[in-house]
Structure 1
Amino acid sequence: MHYKNPTLSRANVLLALASLLLAVALAGCEDNSSEAKPAPAPVEVGVITLHPQSVPLATELPGRTTASLVAEVRPQVDGIIRERLFREGSEVQAGEVLYRVAPSTYQAEYSNALAALKRAQAALPSSENKARRYAELIGQDAISSQDYQDAKAVYEADLAAVAAAKAALDSAKISLDYTEIRAPISGRVEMSDLTPGALVTANQSAPLTTIRQLDPINVDLTQSSTTMLNLRQAIASGVISVEGKAMTVKLKLENGTVYPYEGTVEFSGAKVDESTGTYTLRAEFANPDLLLLPGMYVRAIIQDGVYQNCYLIPQRAVSRTPRGEPMALFVDKDDKVEQRILDVRRSYGNSWLVGSGVNDGDRVVVRGSQFIRPGQTVKVKKMTLDDATGKLSPAQPPAAPAAPAAEGKEG
């Protein structure tokens, strides 16, 4: 005969009741977790509305300044330098005497040539009169033909002697004049390589000094052949318009300042350097203050033309796809994000100049792009960009029209 333990039965009941309550609690938690949560608020992004515009194009190229004219001064006669008549580093004018070579030898040669000319001229009247007289007599058969021919030959020889004496005198005069070594051009003269007392020879290899004309001054620039081809093709297709024939140039100096005078491109190379793939441009600048000196490194900004109907997208809005293509995020009319591949042509300030992939009125994301993805709905906030500094700021709403002034009432 079996007996039931009342203590164990009560424990079993309590255990069953606790299990039931736990199951009900868990079921309640599941019901609460299955309730729909509210959708998160759309991410706010800053956008800029794009419109087509005409953009002036400028290319920045490295260059070196060079003198517009360079002349090496050399003697054209032999002799000893007697004196130097210029101050080194000063401005000289074309034709100004720079050196004097001892002229005594050349003065003597000139005097000798002058005397020879006078001697030849003195003999000329006698032979001329005789030839004229014999010409009359031969017509009267008063003299022989041989006597007439001899008189005529003497006269012609005297004429030749006078001409030769004149040429010798001119040559001696030129040599005497060359004892004064003059400046062939106007410009700044460098230091003298020889001093008074030095022996010089005609057309020697070493110059006495060098003169450089610095106003105007030239700037030699190098540009890649690829850039040149792209520019010319864009001009030919009408994408870029060029105003006028001469391209204007501005200079940035070595210390970062902008040169106050504009220049113009005066020459472009006729061939491309095979080793570097570049060709040369030469611009000319006024240099009245002689601020620019030959050999200075500068950067030239050339105004190529005007790019028509293009779009400027802030550089901060453009990134790269895994394939390296430039892309940007846009917001469509339904405030949904879409990604586009761009045709980036070149940089312009803090923006990229884009030729295709954009339409008038498109809104490009410039702030918050790292928190969104294509297809996502966003909240749009209009922004403005200072292209000079790259600073973003909220767009100001258009000003409300002013209320009309109340008309005064007549009393």
Structure 2
Amino acid sequence: MAELIKMPKMSDTMQHGIISRWLKQVGDKIVAGDILAEVETDKATMELESYEDGTLLYVGVSEKSAVLVDDIIAIIGAPGEDISDLLAEQAASKEGVQSAPTTASEIPSTTSPIFVATAIVPTIEPADQPQPLHQPSDRFFASPLAKKIAKEQGYDITQIQGSGVSGRVIKKDVTHFFANLLNKVAGLTARLSGKETYQDQPLSSMRQTTARVLTASKVAAPHFYLTISINMDKVVALRPELNIHAATKISINDLIVKATALALKRHPKINTAWLEDKIRFYQHVHIGVAVAVEDGLLVPVVHFADQKPVAEISKEVKLLSQKAQQKKLTPQDYAGATFTISNLGMLGVESFTSIINLPASCILAVGAVQQIPIVQDNQIVSAYVMKVTLSCDHRVVDGAVGALFLSTLKELIEQPLSLLL
């Protein structure tokens, strides 16, 4: 008997998925465990695995199209099996119900930006046109999807700078190239026509989810903020020596993750979650580390961070960050954070506040390490100082509780050797 293949819920916030690529075609023999397609969710690109044996009889969704969770995307059955009644039954069940968006134009994607301008399209002079980046004798690498998009847009892919391994051109390189070219045309159009122009960027699944989740958090949780300054002189002095002996380069953020995990063990009221009818006190420490990606923000998780040495945390954070950039995070990689750290210090931001990643009770915003004058022993001296701000859900955490946590965190970071014991 034919079996319906439905769009699974691949993350806790997923509402729809986009079929990036079908790996099987109608008529192909399917064995349980085969990968049917690649699905782009709000957090990663994941593989859709078949749990049925048989023949792929029907594919109801084209590539680059979006499907709501639990909607039919394919049918597997016996070779030659009649599925017309099954399809009719499914169509009848949807009759009178507003149809879900099914194309990339109806569900926002990041394939390419939409440019809205006047009808005047100037000619780009030869000097403005991109020149080939690769000589004919060069060995050139590009993903099949990148080649397909470039061909559809009518561009020579050798003009595009690759950002993948060994300079490999990938999808985002092509879409960025196209967007930049549109911007150049927009600028020329505006100058020649004197008319106002703009560019609309469709919302990605990730951006929609981020907007929905953070808005809900800001509305539901009464946030308050506590900021403290931490002397980083000993950390700055210790890092170069650590990295002489460490197998992987240890960052200041790695030390902050470890210090935060240890501080949470001493202050269990911070390592909590609001669950409407109760407060959950976690006895384990899973630190979410916010990572900025092209489409928004992902928060992969370092599990049991308090039990791991700094070198292991460093290696894990680097791996998770790389997977996040490549949209290859698994649900296990981003599930279960009991506390989150968001660090913009490497971008020069002195201090900021973050929105809590519910249901957790707190999030830590980390600013830049700055060399500034301070008063020490009645003298003005130069010191490295970092500001951190703790956002707290007042339903769970009171001001004094948050302040005591920050005091312990400050103590641990200012004595970094304690993090290595």
Same structural fold, with TM-score higher than 0.5 when normalized by the shorter chain: no
Normalising by the residue count of structure 2, what TM-score does the alignment of the two structures yield?
0.20
- Higher relative CO (Cα under 8 Å, sequence separation at least 6) belongs to 1
Higher normalized helix content (fraction of residues): 2
* Greater Rg by CA: 1
